[in-house]
């Protein structure tokens, strides 16, 4: 994710550029009008920005989900740079964050992320999108099935559908509950960035669900909690060492 190696594939055509701005506008309206957020001296005085930066740093250094994803991105030729590829900004509505494919940047909504656990989930979720962007030619803006697949993977692998989170949402006790949660969260994520009906979003999720739900890369398993994520990170490191010695 450092510079050119991260920004794979051809540049957007004129029509795609317009559609990219339309999509970004739904989630990050200030990005289109103002460009990159101010990074000057006075930005350090804003408490929400300071908190966002500190939480991000702690997530990058300590969270096992994120540490695995960072290693996987680097292994795939898309090394992540904190200052280049993350941006703490104010966002409209209740959006927590997003992956801006046009700039290869993860946006963290500093006005909507209020604790460390939330930051951990958002960074993990968006890094899964970044990983998909790195390893595959994802057509984020015109192919809703591609978007649906990445949203299914992000909901499945980020811990967003953990038992603790679902109990907090008062959602529990259903048969195949994890799968139901993944479908619901993926559908909601699509609706946040596409001006389509819920039926169309659900149809896209249903069409890709089986293959994308069973795609566990780079974890190799569904990391239901931090312990699972630590095991997955250890296995990834061992696998990487094995192949480097062949």
Q: φ, ψ for residue 171 (rounded to 5)?
A: -115, 110
The span from the CA of 233 to the CA of 111, in Å, is 31
Residue range 40-88, pLDDT digits in tens: 444 445 578 999 999 999 999 999 999 999 999 999 999 999 999 999 9
Pairing assessment for the beta strands 86-89 and 105-109 based on DSSP bridges:
parallel
Cα-based distances in Å from 38 to 12, 42, 101, 119, 218: 25, 9, 20, 21, 34
Tokens representing 71 are: 């290693």
Q: 189-245 pLDDT, tens per residue?
A: 999 989 999 999 999 999 999 999 999 999 999 998 888 899 999 999 887 664 555
pTM to 2 decimal places: 0.78
Token pair for 100: 């801006």
User: Residue 129: is its pLDDT beyond 70?
Assistant: yes
Percentage of the chain lying above the pLDDT 70 cut: 73
The two tokens of residue 222 are 């569904």
DSSP of 113-160, one letter per residue?
Answer: --SHHHHHHHHHHHHHHHHHHHHS---TTT-HHHHHHHHHHHHHHSST
Beta carbons of 85 and 1 less than 8 angstroms apart = yes
Give residues with Cβ within 8 angstroms of 21, minimum separation 6.
Answer: 32
For residue 188, the 8-state DSSP code is: H
- The domain limits of the chain are 48-228
Name the catalytic one among 7, 30, 126, 151.
126
**Six-digit token string for 35:** 């460009």
Annotated catalytic residue 126: yes
- Contact between 88 and 39 (Cβ < 8 Å): no
Structure-token match 């959602």, residue found: 171
CA atoms within 13 A on the CB side of 155: 26
Q: How confident is the model at residue 6 (pLDDT cuts 50, 70, 90)?
A: very low
Cα 123–124–127 angle (5° rounding)?
Answer: 80
If you average pLDDT over every residue of the chain, what do you get? 80
């Amino acid at each position: 994710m450092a510079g050119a190696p991260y920004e794979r594939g051809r540049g957007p055509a004129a029509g795609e550029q317009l559609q990219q701005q339309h999509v970004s506008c739904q989630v990050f309206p200030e990005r289109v009008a103002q460009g990159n957020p101010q990074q000057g001296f006075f930005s350090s005085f804003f408490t929400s920005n300071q908190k966002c930066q500190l939480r991000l740093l702690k997530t990058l250094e300590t969270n096992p989900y994120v540490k695995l994803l960072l290693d996987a991105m680097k292994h795939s030729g898309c090394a992540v740079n904190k200052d280049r590829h993350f941006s703490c900004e104010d966002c409209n509505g209740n959006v927590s964050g997003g992956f801006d494919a046009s700039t290869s940047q993860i946006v963290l909504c500093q006005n909507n992320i209020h604790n460390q656990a939330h930051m951990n989930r958002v960074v993990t979720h968006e890094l899964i999108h970044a990983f998909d962007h790195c390893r595959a030619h994802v057509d984020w803006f015109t192919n809703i099935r591609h978007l649906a697949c990445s949203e299914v993977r992000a909901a499945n692998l980020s811990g967003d559908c953990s038992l603790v989170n679902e109990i907090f949402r008062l959602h529990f006790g259903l048969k195949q509950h994890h799968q139901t949660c993944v479908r619901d969260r993926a559908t909601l994520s699509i609706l946040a960035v596409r001006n389509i009906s819920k039926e169309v979003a659900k149809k896209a999720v249903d069409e890709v669900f089986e293959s994308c739900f069973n795609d566990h890369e780079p974890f190799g398993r569904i990391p239901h909690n931090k312990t699972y994520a630590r095991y997955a990170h250890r296995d990834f490191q061992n696998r990487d060492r094995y192949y480097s010695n062949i």
